[in-house]
Structure 1
Amino acid sequence: MSETQPDPQHTDQPVTPVLTSKQAKRANATVVGMLIATGLTLALCLVPVLLNPAPKMQARNVDVAAAANQAAGDAGYRPLAVELPDGWSANYARWNAGTNDGVPNWEVGYLTPDTEFISLTQTNAANPTWIYEHTGNSTVAGERPAGGVAWELRDSSNGEATLVTEIEGQTILLSGSADLAEFDVLAEQAVRDLRGN
């Protein structure tokens, strides 16, 4: 019996295709064309975005004291109407009856001098679930003193901060995108107002 020799042309190694120069040119042209088309599409999408920057919040100067007086009967407590330094303004002040979450609350939206936003929420019916949901499912990052009170500092996934405290049966939440130094200003005034100082 004779042994058969393996045929070098029929080995098990994969065959590497060889492209002609015309085929290679066409393949490269397709890739280059796709990259150019993608670049042009991105450029066209960026033009409107760059020409229309995100608007800053505009001050509305809502009369918070008047709205707080109207809400006091429904609230059963004195809603906060803090006096803030020049440059601060209120965008809204409203009483939420708690029909969606079962926790009635007073809410005021403030613009800082740097046109950043902080909302103040006050309630006498808070519970841990409501606080967790109302603070954007944030996690506790530590404590921050302001106005002689220890505030719980929470950080959320969207980059906003929240300060939470309880004073004389009232839960106060401050949430927004402002610098923590501006949170301190609002927190100190809220504590003073709540304690009647």
Structure 2
Amino acid sequence: MSEVRPEIPAVPPASTSGHQPAPAPDGLPFKPVLTAKQAKRANQTIKGMVISVLLTVAVVIPVVLLNPGSKPETYHRNIDVPAVALEAKAAAGYLPVVPAMPEGWSANYARWTTGGSAQVAAWEAGYLTPGGHHIALTQTDKANPTWLADATGQAPVTGQRRIGGADWQLRDSGSGSKSLVLEESGYTIVLAGGADLDEFDALGTAVAGVLDGR
């Protein structure tokens, strides 16, 4: 006759901390409970992360606000182009062209550039049309094929336009940006941007009028 002995349940290993974990309900995973010291450490870590983020934001916001490129008025301000052109005359060796703009137009920059890596010094001015488009004017007396290709965005020659009594070369990339190029009196003038052709015609007429008056 065999003897049946009752099964003795397995005893979980003792915790190294000296505390026995509370048994988990059947079928549910064991959920660890943080000690007071662990909870305090976790809270300190979260607080440190929040403080770090706030400090980063405090540093970034002033930089963004002080960046001229982030301000809408940068694109709509009206620069005194004739005054800047007079200042640039000594460096340029000639008075840069300053077209008389029709009503509703404005200028958002005017400057003399020394050429940089292109080695071609030039007069640059930017104009905003009444339709909200932008046309960049560039003038130099030291143009070369490489510089001209860069100034027109490598766009191919697609035609010619008679504007203000002068023949302008039209270069169109087909992506919305186009350029008009005028060779006149030893100068090369490039008008470039995404404006409509009638807006290019208005600026081109004003530029040609200045050159005719010299």
TM-score above 0.5: yes
| Counterpart for residue 165 of structure 2 | 148
TM-score of the pair, normalised by structure 1:
0.69
- Aligned partners of 2:130, 2:188: CA distance in 1, in Å? 26
Local SS of the residue matching 1:93: strand
Tell me the CA shift for residue 100 of structure 1: 1.9
Superposition deviation, residue 97 in structure 1 = 0.6
- Tell me which residue corresponds to 2:75: 58
Structure 2 distance, partners of 1:152, 1:136, is 14
Cα contact 1:116–1:178 (8 A) shared by 2: yes
* CA apart distance, 1:166: 0.6
Map of 1:76-155 to 2, 5 A cutoff?
Answer: 76-155=93-172
Give matches, 1:1-197, under 5 Å.
58-196=75-213
How many Å separate the matches in 2 of 1:193 and 1:180?
20
Could you list the structure 1 runs, at least 4 aligned residues long, displaced by more than 4 angstroms after superposition: none
RMSD: 1.6
Extract unaligned runs of 5+ from structure 1. 1-54
Letter of the structure 2 residue corresponding to residue 169 of structure 1? G
Q: Deviations over 1:9-55 (max 9, x none)?
A: xxxxxxxxxxxxxxxxxxxxxxxxxxxxxxxxxxxxxxxxxxxxxx8
Residue-by-residue CA offset, 1:126-155 (whole Å, 9 max, x unaligned): 011110111111000010110111100001
Amino acid of the structure 2 residue aligned with 1:108:
A
Question: What is the alpha-carbon distance in structure 2 between the residues aligned to residue 186 and residue 113 of structure 1?
Answer: 12
1:56–1:115 contact (8 Å) kept in structure 2: no
Deviation at 1:195, TM superposition (A): 2.3
> May I ask how many residue pairs the two structures share in their alignment?
143
Q: Is the 8 A contact 1:98 1:104 kept in 2?
A: yes
Normalised TM-score (structure 2): 0.64
Deviation, structure 1 residue 99: 2.2
Distance in 1 (alpha carbons) for counterparts of 2:212 and 2:124:
18
CA distance in 2, matches of 1:158, 1:192: 30
Q: CA deviation at 1:158?
A: 3.4
Distance 1:57 1:116, change over 3 A: farther
For 1:58 and 1:86, the matched residues in 2 are separated by 17
Query: Which structure is larger by alpha-carbon Rg, 1 or 2?
Result: 2
- Would you say the 8 A contact 1:120–1:174 is kept in 2? yes
